[in-house]
Amino acid sequence: MSRKQQVPKVAAVQGADDTGCPILHVDMDAFYASVELLDRPELVGKPVIIGAAGLRGVVLSATYEARAFGVHSAMPMTRARRLCPHAVVIPPSHGKYAEVSKGVMEIFRAITPQVEPIASDEAFLDVGGARLRLGSPAQIAAMIRAEVRERYGITCSVGVASSKFVAKLASRQCKPDGLLVVPADRVVEFLHPLPVGALWGVGERTEQALVRLGINTVGDLARVPLATLRRELGHAAGTHLAALAWGRDERAVTAHVPDKSIGAEETFPADVDDPEAIRRELLRLSERVAARLRAGGHVGRTVSVKLRRSDFTTITRSRTLREPTDVAQEIYVTVCDLYAAAGLERVRLRLVGVRVENLRGADSAVRQLTLGERESGWREAERAMDKAVRRFGPDAVRPASLVRPKFDGIDL
């Protein structure tokens, strides 16, 4: 029986008492895939997988039609293709996702300043202060779902509860495109039938250990003496899980902490020792990072490159620029210099990455030209590319060196 099937019908939205339930967990449904389907309506209703198609690629997102075959995020692409060989695989468009994510978070912040993003596609909200202005938590949740659908054409699921932990479980149980309220006085009734693996902090190994002890559900765990849990799991883990099993989670929603860095990396389908192929991938990653910087309204001063050898030895090099940037060409030139300085131009690499740190708001950064220096025009050109990509898709415009595949038939 699935986790969703095991949830009792204690918290239907109609008539559910949301008194004492100020915490919302909003989770976008198959976010990357949903954004891609906005530009590919012919694929709606079909199994679609978002991710790199190479041998070492992983699934970033999948439509629910693909998930029905067992495909899920973080799964190796090779396994996903075996499970669902007829699925359409789409390479990710990170700049586009960042832009939609930014807009969705703006919807949340228009409701309450107490927004805690935990990923680009999900966030906690404390709407306790918005009740007089906007209505009950359930009404606010319904308003958020309608606004996201109207503005972006995608759906989200919302859990409404008295704590972050329960709200997150609720949003998971009502996916996709659902709204679930767990009344404060029925939390235990909601929790105890769930599999013990639903608890935060219970990974695969911990779940296996608990099952060996005869602990299969959250209710089973709740009935185990605290001393026994501490002895079997350790003092901290045992105490933590015992509290969650009874719905005790005192953590408050923490307002957004600005991003400290933005990066992207890629694992090659096969180890690469061709410097030109490496630089093409560094260019692709620089384009991706710069697009995310611009979409988020950031610029950054420190640029770093990550180089992982075939033996998994990883080397990073960084450089702080004179002025902050969100321009892919400036980032690319810097990471190429760092790559050359690392002395790995003829060494087989498994993975490369690009990251920009020391971020600040783009509006606060004014570029100062030195005497006789002229603007390169790259910033304006790349912003024009952003507009083309938003309108026509990720393949609408790209640097010439990335147009044709040049490494064993694989577009690197």
Q: Is residue 156 part of a domain?
A: yes
Residue 112: the pLDDT is: 92
Q: Specify binding-site residues.
A: 27, 121
Residue 10: the pLDDT is: 46
Same structural domain, 203 and 179:
no
Q: Is residue 5 part of a domain?
A: no
Q: Is residue 407 part of a domain?
A: no
Residue 229: the pLDDT is: 87
Mean pLDDT value of segment 184-212:
89
Tell me which of 185, 206, 227 is where a domain ends.
185
Look over the chain and give the mean of its residue pLDDT values, rounded to a whole number: 85
Residue 411: the pLDDT is: 44
Same structural domain, 27 and 140:
yes
Mean pLDDT value of segment 292-321:
91
The CATH number covering residue 108 comes to 3.30.70.270
The CATH number covering residue 284 comes to 3.30.1490.100
Q: Domains in the chain: how many in total? A: 3
Q: Please report which confidence band the pLDDT of residue 386 belongs to, taking 50, 70 and 90 as the band edges.
A: low
- Among the residue ranges 120-124, 278-282, 336-340, 385-389, the one predicted with the least confidence is 385-389
- Per-residue buried b or exposed e for 174-199, using 16+ beta carbons within 10 Å of the residue's own CB: bbeebbbbbbbebbeebbbbbbbbbb
Same structural domain, 96 and 155:
yes
How would DSSP label each residue in 151-214? HHS--EEEEEESSHHHHHHHHHHT-SS-EEE--GGGHHHHHTTSBGGGSTT--HHHHHHHHHTT
The CATH number covering residue 228 comes to 1.10.150.20
Residue 407: the pLDDT is: 43
Percent of the chain with pLDDT over 70: 83
Q: Please report which confidence band the pLDDT of residue 292 belongs to, taking 50, 70 and 90 as the band edges.
A: confident
Same structural domain, 91 and 111:
yes
Q: Please report which confidence band the pLDDT of residue 371 belongs to, taking 50, 70 and 90 as the band edges.
A: very low
Same structural domain, 267 and 301:
yes
Residue 270: the pLDDT is: 86
Residue 261: the pLDDT is: 87
- Residue among 172, 167, 178 nearest 126 (CA): 167
Same structural domain, 84 and 176:
yes
Express each pLDDT in 63-108 by its tens digit: 999 999 999 988 999 999 999 999 999 998 888 898 899 899 999 9
Could you tell me where the beta strands, DSSP code E, fall in 4-54?
A: 23-28, 48-51
Express each pLDDT in 242-289 by its tens digit: 999 999 998 999 886 666 789 998 888 889 999 999 999 999 999 999
Q: Are 259 and 296 in contact (CB under 8 A)?
A: yes
**pLDDT above 70 (res 408):** no
Percent of the chain with pLDDT over 90: 59
- Among the residue ranges 150-159, 161-170, 342-351, the one predicted with the least confidence is 342-351
Q: Please report which confidence band the pLDDT of residue 202 belongs to, taking 50, 70 and 90 as the band edges.
A: confident
Cβ contacts of 146 within 8 Å, gap of 6 or more:
none
Q: Which residues are catalytic?
A: 122
Q: Between vectors from CA 323 to CA 320 and to CA 328, what angle results, nearest 5°?
A: 80
Residue 382: the pLDDT is: 60
Same structural domain, 158 and 201:
no
Q: Specify binding-site residues for Mg(2+).
A: 27, 121
Q: Is residue 339 part of a domain?
A: yes
Q: Is residue 252 part of a domain?
A: no
Same structural domain, 178 and 44:
yes
Same structural domain, 33 and 166:
yes
Tell me which of 163, 185, 207 is where a domain ends.
185
Q: Are 59 and 74 in contact (CB under 8 A)?
A: yes
Q: Can you say whether residue 312 is alpha, beta or left, with left for phi > 0 and alpha for psi between -120 and 50 degrees? A: left
Q: Is residue 73 part of a domain?
A: yes
Q: Is residue 411 part of a domain?
A: no
Tell me which of 245, 269, 290 is where a domain ends.
245
Q: Please report which confidence band the pLDDT of residue 207 belongs to, taking 50, 70 and 90 as the band edges.
A: confident
Q: Please report which confidence band the pLDDT of residue 11 belongs to, taking 50, 70 and 90 as the band edges.
A: very low
- Answer with the residue of higher pLDDT: 385 or 357: 357
- Answer with the residue of higher pLDDT: 139 or 407: 139
Same structural domain, 207 and 125:
no
Residue 388: the pLDDT is: 56
Mean pLDDT value of segment 330-347:
93
Same structural domain, 21 and 167:
yes
- Answer with the residue of higher pLDDT: 66 or 371: 66
**pLDDT above 80 (res 54):** no
- Answer with the residue of higher pLDDT: 394 or 199: 199
Residue 406: the pLDDT is: 41
Same structural domain, 215 and 283:
no
**pLDDT above 90 (res 43):** yes
Q: Which domain range does residue 86 map to?
A: 12-185
Q: Is residue 403 part of a domain?
A: no
